Each structure stands twice: as structure tokens, then as C-alpha cells.
């Protein structure tokens, strides 16, 4: 089984990716002895994914992939976007971000939003990018106990439940990260 480094400390993301990439041994940053908090200071998702992938390749000399994900809310001009993980400030929790977004959306009729993931893959000295998008809407309150991040308030188009109410397998088939990862898998299996 081919080993792939996923440049993340986020155990939720790691579990999600391992469920998608069943034909690969996916290891995280802790598994390779990387305990640094890689600074993501790009102004777009692709830039942040590139920073993380390049850090692992440059410092550990390993092929790897990294992702960055943003929730883009139409009524908020695409915010929180690249700042999704720290929308409520540095060191905030997932719940803090959800509360801040629900507050920003109070009384707003246009609830359209999308999750977008960009994956940067460093493989054999080359870099490749893959993108996944899922459209949906922001709910007016939290629904469900599963998932992480904004999952309790994001309902994908064509579904009556939030990401947090879905089985992981269902979410992975339709999610932004699932779609970007499917493109990564297709590339790796060529």
C-alpha cells in the first residue's frame, strides 16, 4: 500500500481523508514527527495548501499533499473564505466560528454558500492542484452532532440535512473535500 503524507494536524480531516483514500496508507504530520504549526498566511486557499505541502517536502523530503478549505457565503461577499478556521479570532473554537457566522447572518434572506477545498500535491518533484466545491445554504441554527467546523449549519443543495446530520460516507461522497480528493485519487491511480 502506497504511503502518503497529508500535511495536517487536524484529526477530523485526517479521519475523513483516510475514509476516502482506502487504497493508501495516509499519515498525518504527527506521524512523521512534524509538530510545527505551519503558518498559513496566503490570501487564498491554493496559496495556503501550497505553503503546507512545500513545508513538508522542503523539511522532511517527502511527497505529500495538503489542503485548505473555506466556507464562502454569498451575502458576506465570500467571507469567511480563507479565514474560515479563524473567523472568530486566533485560537477560536469551531463553535465560536459558528456562533459568529450565525450572528452575521441574522435577518439575511440570501443564505447561499459554498464550501471550497483546494489540494496541493507534491509528487516526484512536481506540484499539482485539485479543487472541490459543494453548493448549499447556511441554516438559521445548528443541526446534528457529527462532522466538525461549520458542518452543523451547512446544508448542501439537494439534501434536507446538514453535513453534521449525515453519515460520514454520504458526506464524503458529496463534500468539497471528497470531490477534491476524488480528483487526487484519479490522478494518483493513472
Query: What confidence score (pLDDT) does residue 128 get?
Result: 98
Buried b (16+ CB within 10 A) or exposed e, 90-124: eeeebeebbbebbeebeeeeebebbbbbbbbbbbe
Which residue in 41, 68, 96, 160 is the catalytic one?
A: 68
Q: State the pLDDT at residue 83.
A: 94
- The pLDDT score that the predictor gives to residue 133 is 98
Which three cell numbers mark 119? 489540494
Mark whether 68 is an active-site residue: yes
pLDDT computed for residue 16 by the predictor: 84
Residues of the chain whose pLDDT is less than 50? none
Three-state SS at 77: coil
pLDDT at 20: 82
Torsions phi, psi for 34 (to 5 deg): -95, 110
Tens digits of residue pLDDT in 117-147: 999 999 999 999 999 999 999 999 999 998 8
Amino acid at each position: 500500500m502506497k504511503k502518503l503524507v497529508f500535511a495536517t494536524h487536524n484529526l477530523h480531516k485526517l479521519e475523513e481523508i483516510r475514509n476516502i483514500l482506502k487504497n493508501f496508507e495516509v499519515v498525518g504530520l504527527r506521524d512523521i514527527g512534524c509538530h510545527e504549526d505551519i503558518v498559513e498566511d496566503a490570501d487564498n486557499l491554493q496559496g495556503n495548501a501550497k505553503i503546507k505541502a512545500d513545508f513538508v517536502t522542503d523539511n522532511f523530503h517527502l511527497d505529500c499533499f495538503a489542503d485548505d478549505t473555506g466556507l464562502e457565503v454569498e451575502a458576506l461577499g465570500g467571507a469567511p473564505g480563507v479565514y474560515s478556521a479563524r473567523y472568530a479570532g486566533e485560537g477560536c473554537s469551531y463553535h465560536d466560528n459558528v456562533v459568529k457566522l450565525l450572528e452575521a447572518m441574522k435577518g439575511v434572506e440570501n443564505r447561499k454558500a459554498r464550501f471550497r477545498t483546494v489540494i496541493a500535491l507534491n509528487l516526484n518533484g512536481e506540484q499539482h492542484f485539485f479543487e472541490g466545491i459543494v453548493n448549499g445554504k447556511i441554516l438559521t441554527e445548528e443541526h446534528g452532532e457529527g462532522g466538525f467546523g461549520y458542518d452543523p449549519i451547512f446544508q448542501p443543495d439537494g439534501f434536507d440535512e446538514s453535513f453534521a446530520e449525515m453519515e460520514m460516507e454520504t458526506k464524503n461522497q458529496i463534500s468539497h473535500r471528497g470531490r477534491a480528493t476524488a480528483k487526487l485519487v484519479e490522478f494518483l491511480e493513472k
